[in-house]
């Protein structure tokens, strides 16, 4: 495996070509960060990954990036709550993609202080580091659909396999950015606060920043858990011969977005930042890429040739019965649309996970790492 090249000196972190700056990705060792970094690095652009490696196993993603891309990869092993480390990382950033976060509602309920420190204080540190620069780099921040709360006021119709809105426009288009914010759970509050800080710093300090309120993202390099990355988690459980636990009735609906389409959206946001700065966008697969929990289990049955064991459990706190992103606003301002269909993307992830789990089974030293979340 390649060696993670950690550095803490700004001069030594500088790209070899004197006038070229790096793309900074916070949380870059995670699922989305790894996929974005790989795309940028494949185009010959240097990337600095800032990550505290708090999730066991994420160093495998960094090793893979270093093996694949060599000296174009730089790593700052640091916490986003460390303002000095953030200042160093931002110093020569050409653009910033901010993914570092506490990502689970359940964890936020168990440890709200940690959730606040990472999601609010960490984002504030980044904004201040950018504000202090004369030439402020563009910032793309990934927020969450949880800023809209439980959406309990939506009138829903429950069919045999999924919920659908009674309102025809919502069925056709999904939830747009005009829906009122309703922060629920410590996670919803912390991500919502960070979301609003980014938008306000863009207005007040003219930071070229935009916010993605994201739905469910899935794809290679994701080892989902019950708390985060449910599409991958369902597939992993089925491939491992383990039961899938449905919290609630299984008719919950989400729009899902393949990670390569998200990477396209992130880079498109960077390209159009002059037009979209100060705006928030609902980003997901949209109304064309909708699936319920039970429908995903049906498709897993097709892929694997047998139905996985399914167990039932009580509804989880603040779970949304229906959430589908209306992606009209971002499409209108940039032209972006998802290209990978739900069935195509799920099959791609199934094949990737099959290979990853086979590798883990054949390599005992890797088995423990593969069982841990990397998203």
Strand partners, 175: 325
pLDDT in tens, 206-220: 999 999 999 999 999
Which two tokens mark 370?
Answer: 């593969």
**Res 358: pLDDT:** 62
Nearest of 360, 344, 165 to residue 261 by alpha carbon: 344
Fold exhibited by the domain 101-370: Rossmann fold (3.40.50)
Domain boundaries, the chain: 101-370
Instruction: Name beta bridge partners: 25.
Output: 49, 97
Instruction: Select from 41, 139, 45 the least CA-distant residue to 90.
Output: 139
Q: CA 77 to CA 143: how far, in whole Å? A: 23
Q: Is the pLDDT of residue 14 over 80?
A: no
Q: E-assigned strands of 271-350?
A: 280-283, 290-292, 310-313, 322-323
Q: Cα–Cα distance between 99 and 6 in angstroms, integer?
A: 19
Q: What is each CA distance from 79 to 53, 202, 235, 267, in whole angstroms?
A: 9, 23, 31, 25
What pLDDT score does 176 carry?
Answer: 97
Of the candidate ranges 16-25, 156-165, 340-349, the one whose mean pLDDT is the lowest: 16-25
Place of tokens 């705006």: 279
Tell me: pLDDT of 16 over 70: no
Euclidean distance between CA atoms 266 and 272, whole angstroms: 10
Structure-token pair, residue 265: 């959206």
Active site residues: 187
Q: What is the pLDDT of residues 168-204, one digit of tens each?
A: 999 999 999 999 999 988 999 999 999 999 999 999 9
Provide the pLDDT for residue 56.
66
The tens digit of pLDDT for each residue in 97-148 reads 999 998 888 889 999 999 999 999 999 999 999 999 999 999 999 999 999 9
Residue 17: the pLDDT is 44
- pTM metric for this prediction: 0.89
What's the pLDDT tens digit per position in 53-91? 987 668 888 999 999 999 999 999 999 999 999 999 999
Cα gap 134→13, rounded to integer Å: 20
Please indicate whether residue 152 or residue 329 has the higher confidence score (pLDDT).
329
């Amino acid at each position: 495996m390649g060696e993670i090249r950690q550095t803490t000196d700004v001069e030594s972190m500088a790209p070899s070509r004197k006038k070229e700056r790096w793309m900074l990705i916070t949380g870059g060792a995670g699922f989305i960060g790894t996929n974005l970094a790989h795309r940028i690095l494949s185009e010959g652009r240097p990337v600095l990954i800032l990550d505290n490696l708090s999730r066991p196993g994420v160093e495998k993603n960094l090793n893979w990036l270093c093996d694949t891309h060599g000296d174009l990869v730089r790593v700052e092993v640091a916490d986003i709550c460390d303002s000095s480390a953030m200042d160093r990382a931002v110093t020569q950033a050409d653009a910033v993609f901010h993914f570092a976060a506490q990502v689970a509602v359940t964890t936020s309920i168990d440890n709200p202080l940690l959730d606040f420190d990472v999601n609010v204080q960490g984002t504030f540190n980044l904004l201040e580091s950018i504000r202090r620069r004369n030439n402020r780099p563009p910032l793309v921040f990934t927020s969450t659909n949880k800023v809209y709360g439980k959406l309990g006021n939506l009138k829903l119709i429950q069919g045999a396999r999924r919920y659908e809105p009674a309102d025809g426009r919502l069925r056709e288009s999904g939830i747009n950015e005009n829906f009122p914010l309703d922060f629920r759970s410590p996670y919803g509050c912390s991500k919502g606060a960070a979301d609003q800080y980014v938008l306000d710093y863009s207005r007040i300090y003219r930071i070229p920043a935009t916010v993605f309120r994201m739905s469910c993202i899935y794809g290679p390099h994701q080892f989902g858990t019950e708390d985060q990355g449910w599409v991958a988690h369902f597939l992993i459980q089925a491939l491992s011969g383990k039961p899938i636990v449905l919290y609630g009735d299984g008719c919950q609906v989400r729009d899902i977005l393949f990670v390569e389409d998200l990477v396209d959206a992130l880079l498109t946001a960077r390209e159009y930042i002059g037009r979209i700065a100060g705006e928030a966008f609902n980003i997901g697969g949209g109304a064309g890429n909708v699936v319920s929990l039970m429908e995903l289990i049906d498709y897993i049955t097709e892929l694997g040739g047998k139905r996985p064991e399914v167990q039932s459990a009580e509804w989880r706190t603040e779970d949304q019965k229906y959430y589908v992103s209306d992606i009209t606003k971002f499409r209108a301002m940039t032209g972006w649309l998802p290209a990978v269909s739900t069935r195509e993307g799920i099959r791609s992830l199934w094949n990737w996970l099959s290979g990853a789990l086979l590798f883990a089974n054949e390599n005992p030293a890797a088995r423990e790492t593969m069982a841990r979340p990397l998203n």
